[in-house]
Chain A
C-alpha cells in the first residue's frame, strides 16, 4: 500500500514540468481594461548599473499596454544617485555631474523605503503598502504582471488635464477630476512635472553611457508630496472637482534647483528643462492606504 502510494507520487511528479521550445513570444494576448490607468514609479539612479533594465521594462510595458501606463523615474537614494564626488576621485570626463534627486522624490522614497531596499525598485499604484511595512516594493520583473492585474480593477475616477498659456511664460494647468462612483473616505490629488528625452550620463550594466536618454524623470511637484484634498465634501457619482495650478516656465529650473537634494557639488540639475519635453502627471490616491486610484498624463505644451 505504502509502496504504491509513493509510486503514484513519483509519476505525478515526473509529469509536472513545462519544458518549452521557441518561439517564446506569444502574440495572441488581448488587452482588456476599463478606463483605469496605472502609475509605475520607478526608483532609479544614474550610477545604478541595473537601473536601465527597469527603464527598458517600462518601455516594454508601454509597448504592450500603450497610454494606459504612466511612469515616473524617481532618482533616489545615496550611493548611486549621488553625483560624482571629485573630492575622492578625479573626474576628467565630467561624468555624472548632475543630480536628479528632488526633495519631493526623497520624501516619497523615505516614506516607502524604496532605495533602502536596493535599486532598481518600484511601486505599482503604490498597492500593498501597510503601516507595518507591507509588500509594496516591487522588483521590475514583477511590474508587468501586477500592471495587468491593476488594469483589470474597477475605475473610480476620471482625470482630465488642460494646460493653457495665459501670458508670457505663465501656464495655467486645470485638473478636472470626475467621480465615477459614490465614495466615502479621503482622497488627495498630486500634480507633478516630468521630463522626457534628457541626454546625460548613465551606468548601464558594465558600460558608462554619456548619451543615455533619460525618460519620465520627475522634475517638480506643483502640490506637496502628499497632495491637495480632492474635496472636503462627500463624493457622489458624477461630481467633478476642479483644481487649477499656475506655473512660470522661466522660474522652473531655478525653483527646482532650490529643491534639489544636491549636497556637495552645487547645482546638479544639469541638462534638460526643455518645455517641449515636459509632461503634467496628475494622480488621485486614497489617504487611508496611499493606493493610487487613477492617473493621467498630458504634455505641458499643447502640440
Chain B
C-alpha cells in the first residue's frame, strides 16, 4: 500500500504543475452499525459488536491531468455486504490525461458500452457492487461526430481481480454531425465488441477460451420523439462442468427498444426487452453478482416507497421478455383537476414473463433449443400497475398518493421450490403528506398499506399484510428527525406479527451529513437498478457520516 501511495506521489511530483489550475477534492463516507441479537426477527449479534464500512475518494486534477484513488475500509464489513469485503486497502487508483481529443486512462476505470447489454463496469455502494476494471483505456474523438473507446483489463472482485481478461471496443457515430446533414431528424449509430479470455481447463469438453459479445445500437431523435434500440449477441460460453446437461453451448442474445414522446405537460415511454442466455461473467465458473459484467436493465419502475419495493423485480438474464409503459401528465393550473398549482400524474405498467417452455436457449450434443424471438411463457415473473399523483394543494400542503397492484413470482425470483410460496399478489396504497408549519419547518406524514394474496402457494409462513407509518420533522437547512414503524399484522405465523420500529436523527451542514438511527430492519431483498442483494434482519444502532470536499 505504501508503495502505491508513493508511486502516485511520484507521478504527482514529476509533473510541473501550474498552481492556479491544480486542485484536490473528494468525498468521505463512514457507516457504523451495531448488531444486537433479536430472536423474534432472527437478527444475530455480530461477534465484533460494531461493524464498519468506510471509504475516502481523493481526486487530484491539473489542466488535462487527473489522478485519483479510493481508500476502502471494512473492519469488518456490515452484515449486508459480502463477507469477502474484509480489511483495508486502496483497490481503486488511476491516472488520466487528455490531449488532442485523445484520453488515456491507466489503472482503474468504469465503463459502459451502449445501454450495458454486453458490458458495464460500475459501482453501487448500496449493493456492495464494484466491478471496476484495472487496465488501460483509450478514448478518441476522430473528427466530427465519431468517437471511439477501447480498453483492456481485468475486473475487480472484492480485493482481488477475476481471472477473465477483457478487451473491448466501442464506436459511436453521430450521422448528422459527421455528414453535415441539416435534417430535423437526428441519427446516432453505435457498435461495440467485447472479448473475454480465460484459459481452458476442462478435461472432457471443448471450452472456448475467447468468448466474444457484440452489440449494435440506433438512436433516432426528432422533436419530442426519441427511439432507442440495441441488439446484443454473445457466442457460446459454457461453464466448466463435466456433466453434459450443465454444458450449454448456445449463443445468447438480448435486445432493448424504447420509444418516447414528450412535450410540455405530457410524456409517454413504451419499452420492450428480451434476454436469452445473456449472462456475461468475469470468470465463467463463478456465481454471484460480483462477477457479472453485463447489465440488462430491469423493465419495471424503480420504487422509492418501502412497501412498493418490498417485492422488487430483478432481471432474469437467462431468459425473459418484458414490456413497460409510462405515462406522465400534468393537469394545468386553474383546471378542475389541476387546482391552483397543477397536478402531476404518472401511470406505469410493466409485465415480465418467462421465455417459452425451457426458458432459454440450450445447446449441447443432445439438446438444441432456441426460443422463438417474441415468444413468452405463461409463467409470469413480475407485473406492476401503479399510479402516482403529485399535488400541491396550497402554500402549506403538498401530497403524493400512490396506488399499485403488483404480482411477484416468489418461487422463481427467490429460487424457492415451485409451489411453495407461489406468486404474491399485492395491492398497495400510499399517502405522503407534507405540511409547512412555518418558514423552514416542515412535517411530513407517510402512511402505507399492503394487502397481500397468495396464488398457488402451500406455505403457511407468508408475510401477508403490512402497514407502515412515518412521521418526519425537518428544519431547513440543518436538522431532520424521523420515526417510523412497519407492522406485519397479517403474517400467517402469529409469532411473527411484529413491529419494525426505527428512529432517525440527522444533521446536515453544507456538504456534510451526520445521521444516527436506531431500530429493527426487516430481512428482505434490496435492489438498485434491478440488481438485488439479500439484506439480513438486524437490530441495532447505526451511525453514518458522509462528506464531500
Binding site for B on A (CB under 8 A): 2-3, 6, 9-10, 12-14, 16-20, 22-27, 29, 31, 47, 49-50, 53, 56-57, 60-61, 63-64, 88-90, 113, 116-118, 132-133, 135, 139-142, 144-145, 148-149, 203, 206, 208
A-B contact pairs, 15 of them (CB 8 A): A3-B142, A6-B142, A13-B193, A17-B235, A20-B249, A24-B249, A24-B365, A56-B245, A113-B83, A132-B87, A133-B86, A139-B287, A141-B285, A144-B240, A206-B418
Which residues of the partner chain A approach B142 to less than 8 Å between Cβ atoms? Answer: 3, 6
Q: How far is the CA of A145 from the CA of B242 in the complex (A)?
A: 9
Q: A6 to B203, Cβ gap below 8 A?
A: no
Which residues of the partner chain B approach A19 to less than 8 Å between Cβ atoms? Answer: 208, 212, 235-236
Which residues of the partner chain A approach B168 to less than 8 Å between Cβ atoms? Answer: 13
Q: A49-B415, A139-B285, A142-B286 are in contact. Are A18 and B243 (CB under 8 A)?
A: no
The 8 Å CB contact of A24, one of B201, B211, B242, B247, is B247
Minimum distance in angstroms from B42 CB to a CB of chain A: 10
Which residues of the partner chain A approach B86 to less than 8 Å between Cβ atoms? Answer: 132-133
Kindly state whether residue B458 has any CB partner on chain A within 8 Å.
yes
Minimum distance in angstroms from B122 CB to a CB of chain A: 22
Q: How far is the CA of A91 from the CA of B430 in the complex (A)?
A: 38
- Which residue of A is nearest B82, CB measured? A117
Kindly state whether residue B112 has any CB partner on chain A within 8 Å.
no
Q: A57 to B243, Cβ gap below 8 A?
A: yes
Which residues of the partner chain A approach B461 to less than 8 Å between Cβ atoms? Answer: 88-89
- Which residue of A is nearest B416, CB measured? A49
Q: A89 to B212, Cβ gap below 8 A?
A: no
Binding site for A on B (CB under 8 A): 83-84, 86-87, 102, 138, 140, 142, 148, 150, 160, 167-169, 193, 195, 197, 201-206, 208-212, 235-236, 238-247, 249, 284-287, 363-365, 415, 417-418, 458-461, 493
The 8 Å CB contact of B204, one of A10, A26, A142, is A26
Q: A17 to B204, Cβ gap below 8 A?
A: no
Which residues of the partner chain A approach B238 to less than 8 Å between Cβ atoms? Answer: 24
The 8 Å CB contact of B493, one of A14, A16, A88, A145, is A88
Q: A24 to B205, Cβ gap below 8 A?
A: yes
Q: How many inter-chain residue pairs (CB < 8 Å) link A and B?
A: 140
- Which residue of A is nearest B158, CB measured? A133
Which residues of the partner chain A approach B493 to less than 8 Å between Cβ atoms? Answer: 88
- Which residue of A is nearest B492, CB measured? A88
Q: A49 to B417, Cβ gap below 8 A?
A: yes
Which residues of the partner chain A approach B417 to less than 8 Å between Cβ atoms? Answer: 47, 49, 203, 206, 208
Q: B208 to A64, Cβ gap below 8 A?
A: no
Q: A17-B235, A141-B285 are in contact. Are A22 and B364 (CB under 8 A)?
A: yes
Q: A53-B246, A89-B458 are in contact. Are A64 and B203 (CB under 8 A)?
A: yes
The 8 Å CB contact of B285, one of A16, A64, A145, is A145
Q: B197 to A16, Cβ gap below 8 A?
A: yes
Which residues of the partner chain A approach B242 to less than 8 Å between Cβ atoms? Answer: 57, 60-61, 63-64, 144
Given A139-B287, A144-B241, A144-B242, 14 extra CB contacts under 8 A = A10-B169, A13-B167, A16-B212, A17-B211, A22-B249, A24-B249, A24-B365, A25-B205, A60-B243, A113-B83, A118-B287, A142-B240, A148-B201, A206-B418
Which residues of the partner chain B approach A61 to less than 8 Å between Cβ atoms? Answer: 242
Q: A24 to B195, Cβ gap below 8 A?
A: no
- Which residue of B is nearest A17, CB measured? B212
